[in-house]
Amino acid sequence: MTKLDAHQHFWKYSAAEYEWIDDSMATLQRDFLPADLQPLLATNGFDGSIVVQARQSLEETRWLLDLAAENDFIHGVVGWVDLCSPEIGKQLEHFAQNKKLVGVRHVVQGEPDDEFMLRPAFRRGIGLLHQFGLAYDLLIYPKHLPVAAKLVSEFPQQRFVLDHIAKPRIADGVLEPWARDIRELAKAPHVACKLSGMVTEAHWQKWKPVDFKPYLETVLETFGPDRLMIGSDWPVCTVSADYGMAMSLVKDFIGGLSASERDGVLGENCARAYELAERTRG
């Protein structure tokens, strides 16, 4: 099987383009490129990764696709297109010609409107993704989970992937209403979930594995092992844990699963959610 890191980023740092990287994350204020990640993947037993957009621009998507063309270990790109644009069809026609584009994402967590995903223009854009064979990554906070449940119910043929288990308040030990709402979202069989981005929701550098147990148990119970995938959220994770620690957190948790279930979480579920095999055959 191919082991895949389902969620990581690259960037050439500039304060203007990455204003979300504030001084509390000063270690991220530098370039992070494929040459930095490849040895980490190899050391930790991973064969490749899915790179995810960090800027909301068409240039970001072009750049990530160029990196994927130059680096075979990048198995797919989750890019950005303007889903609300009248030109969304043309944007998708252009980018979807590239087999390495496996999905798109919008930084919904940064939108002031909590119901942004229910806007007619956004939903119209989501409605076009299926015909181009693209998944949609949900980057949201717990407060957005009920909205996400409404969205995915409207598009039963569309593949969705929840990033970072919706960023629950791990540092505060708060489970509800996140757990209740995650159960509702998980009822939709066309939604998968990334076990990623958790260490940055805990106490940075001071967390313990037990802090994550109730959250991991909840998503395992609700999504089941066949819809979960491991992701590092590198390099963002490094403000709270190094690459190996972030990945071992999930590896250790799934240690009690069957061999086939572990294989799923470590790569096969990611490949299925983003239809990587279909792209290789194409």
Torsion angle (degrees, nearest 10) of CA 137, 119, 150, 91: -30
- Taking the C-alpha atoms of residue 53 and residue 77, their distance in angstroms, rounded to an integer, is 8
Give yes or no for a contact between 141 and 108, defined as CB atoms under 8 angstroms apart: no
Q: For residue 215, what are its two tokens?
A: 């959250």
Closest by CA to 273, choosing from 72, 136, 138, is 136
Quote the tokens at residue 70: 């130059």
* pLDDT bucket at 72, cuts 50 / 70 / 90: very high
In the chain, the domains with their CATH numbers are 4-281 (3.20.20.140)
Q: What is the pLDDT of residues 142-168, one digit of tens each?
A: 999 999 999 999 999 999 999 999 999
To which residue do tokens 């844990």 refer?
241
* Cβ 179 vs Cβ 219: under 8 Å: no
Torsion of CA 129, 131, 132, 134, to 10 degrees: 50
pLDDT, tens digit (0-9, with 9 covering 90-100), for 91-112: 999 999 999 999 999 999 999 9
| Structure confidence by residue, pLDDT tens digits, 202-212 | 999 999 999 99
Exposure string of 166-193, with b = 16+ CB inside 10 Å and e = fewer, is bbbebeeeebeebbebbbbbbebebbbb
In the structure, what pLDDT confidence band is assigned to residue 34 with cuts at 50, 70 and 90?
very high
Residue 135 has pLDDT above 90, yes or no: yes
Q: Which two tokens stand for residue 60?
A: 């970001």
Q: How many CA atoms lie within 13 A of 76 on its CB side?
A: 27
Question: What is the crossing angle of helices 243-253 and 34-43, to 10°?
Answer: 40
Q: For 164-177, what is each residue's pLDDT tens digit?
A: 999 999 999 999 99
Asked if pLDDT for residue 185 goes beyond 70, the answer is: yes
| 0.85 surpassed by pTM | yes
Indicate whether 281 pLDDT > 80: no
Residue whose pair of structure tokens reads 């709270």 in the numeric block: 240
Q: Is the CB of residue 158 less than 8 Å from the CB of residue 191?
A: no
Q: Which residues of 243-263 are buried (b: 16+ CB within 10 A; e: fewer)?
A: bebbbebbbebbeeeeeebbb
Q: Quick one: pLDDT band at residue 129, thresholds 50, 70, 90?
A: very high
